[in-house]
Amino acid sequence: MGDLILGIDIGTTGTKCTIYNYSGEIAASAYQDYPMIHPQLNWTEQDPNVWWSCVRSNLHKCFENDGINSGRISVIGLSCTNAVTLVDSCGNPLYNAIGLHDQRSDEQVRWLENKIGSSRLRKTGGNRLAKGTCALTSMRWIIDNHPELICRGNKFLTPDGFIIKKLTDRFSINCSRMDLTLLGSIHTGNWEKDIVDLAKVPEYLLPPVYNSDEIVGTVTRQAAEATGLKEGTPVTAGAVDTMAATIGSGAVNTGDFAITIGSSGRICSISGSPAEDEKLLNIHLAFDNRYVICQSTDNAGVSLRWFRDSFGDAFKESAAMNGVNLYRQIDLAAEKSGPGADGIIFLPYLSGEKSPIWNSHARGVFFNIGLNTSIGSFARAVLEGVAFSIKECSELVVNESNRDEPIPIGGGVANSPLWCQIFADILDRPMLRLKSNETETLGDMIIAAQAIGIKEIPKDFGKAMARKGEIIYPDRNNRGLYEQCYQKYKDLYQALKPVYY
């Protein structure tokens, strides 16, 4: 057994590989981003081959640039974003992965509602029927529109399952990912044959289900040659990125909470049973027969990236003068704008929205632009709009009786003290800004450690890591202003709701 663990996270806009020692310190890390693919309006795809290319490239950087001996890696854990692809018997993609922001499957949603019914799907699967959220709608779209591919297809795979196939030559899906297909039982953690038959998904296309803390297989010789990993290294079954990030943030016990702001935004709690409220998502925790109760927004970090990609030229000169990257320069401009963004309200519904409004037709809005509006005000409005969306979600999942308990906040937001302060002010709760923003790969590491029984890394290892973070308290001077802005935020959506169609 070695003394390192590898975590791999396949994200919506990038892939990260991070190698940890048993103390939770990063020994090496590499990241590559990639654009989402939009073949048509409201379609969002990813190329699975790009995931694999990024994993290989990242690992070579870790091994070569950081001088890591891959033989020291004891086990590999994975997590991934919401997407599904169809592959052949060798694991080669037959169609691009359809991603979480995709809105093409209205017809499939209607068919499933008529054929099975939303209430039955939720009762069995524990989650609501919605485009992008559940893989079933995307599976049905491929079945309906590309029957010639179904004849050649062998399995539907999520991103972590795709990489696991590349590493181990074995097909798989983890229980938490199965929860978000709507084809399984939230109670048993297995495929639900009656639902599979009614949905007319060929059973042979569904991979075997594993718990996240189970070993699927080991790195093959071919994968070792491609990646630099040691042949025979065990590989776990993977996890929903939200669940991995929640564990990495230290939330593993019933009643724990965590916020993760990556491409999407998630506020999660741990429960001993699935939640019944249809606005909430349920996924199996990696261990202890518990559940992650999740409110997920589609356009959190993606909103900031969209703003950077669309308006970044306005910040390039200042960023160069200050010797910082574009994200940091955007922060500096937003800070100058001040709380309330000079009156601008941003609705971050760039690709529709899941929690809490569940409206796939909603779209982003900047409201109340005036002659005094600066580019920094737009930037601040984006940061505040995302925080407002999480506040609206928090009203369902956060226990208001313990308002002094800091909520861990991780993901890319942890890179920005300003954004963390905005969250603290708008939620009116202390935020525990995590020292490491790599909550997904840290969660991967913790889950993988359980799979092979590494005693130095217990299930609640993330709590010890979280205690190294910084507590950011809300500025009470901003409470009244943000209460007014938040009410305008909610009123604005309600006013626009009739014209979203």
Q: Would the pLDDT of 76 be above 50?
A: yes
Residues of the chain with pLDDT > 70: what percent?
99
Average pLDDT, the chain: 95
Cα distances (angstroms) measured from residue 303 to each of 106, 127, 363, 425, 475: 24, 25, 12, 20, 25
Helix (H) or strand (E) holding 76: strand 73-80
Three-state SS at 309: helix
What's the sign of the alpha-carbon dihedral 452, 16, 134, 400?
A: positive
Rg of the chain taking only CA atoms, in angstroms: 22
Residue with tokens 């990030």: 245
In 83-154, where do the E strands start and end? Answer: 83-87, 97-99
- State the distance between the two ends of the chain, measured CA to CA, in whole angstroms: 57
DSSP state of 406: P
How much of the chain, in percent, has pLDDT values that exceed 90?
90
Segment 442-470 shows an average pLDDT of: 96
Q: Any residues with CB less than 8 A from the CB of 414 and at least 6 apart, and which? A: 420, 433, 434, 435, 436, 437
Q: What does the pLDDT read at residue 420?
A: 97
Average pLDDT over residues 165-175: 98
Return the structure tokens found at 85: 């692809």
With cut-offs at 50, 70 and 90, classify the pLDDT of residue 399. Answer: low
Q: Within 210-274, where are the H helices?
A: 221-227, 241-248
Question: Which pLDDT does position 401 carry in this prediction?
Answer: 43
Left (φ > 0), alpha (ψ -120 to 50) or beta: where does 338 sit?
left
Mean pLDDT calculated for residue range 218-222 = 98
Q: Indicate if the pLDDT at residue 437 is higher than 80.
A: no
Could you tell me the two tokens for 237?
Answer: 């079954």
Would you state the pLDDT for residue 402?
A: 58
Q: How far apart are CA 249 and CA 466, in angstroms?
A: 6
Q: Which two tokens stand for residue 290?
A: 């518990």
pLDDT value at position 473?
A: 97
Residue 376 and residue 395: Cα distance in Å, rounded? Answer: 29
- For residue 221, the surrounding DSSP H or E stretch is helix 221-227
DSSP-assigned beta bridge partners for residue 131: none
Place of tokens 């029927």: 129
At 76, the amino acid letter reads I
Residues with Cβ within 8 Å of 224's Cβ and at least 6 positions away in sequence, in order, are 230, 231
Reading the block at residue 355, the tokens are: 């929690």
Say what the pLDDT of residue 405 is.
84
CA nearest to 81, candidates 54, 63, 56: 54
pLDDT digits (tens, 9 = 90+) for 267-289: 999 999 999 988 899 999 999 99
Hey, how many other C-beta atoms are within 10 angstroms of the C-beta on 85? 28
* Structure tokens given for 34: 């990639």
410 has pLDDT over 50: yes
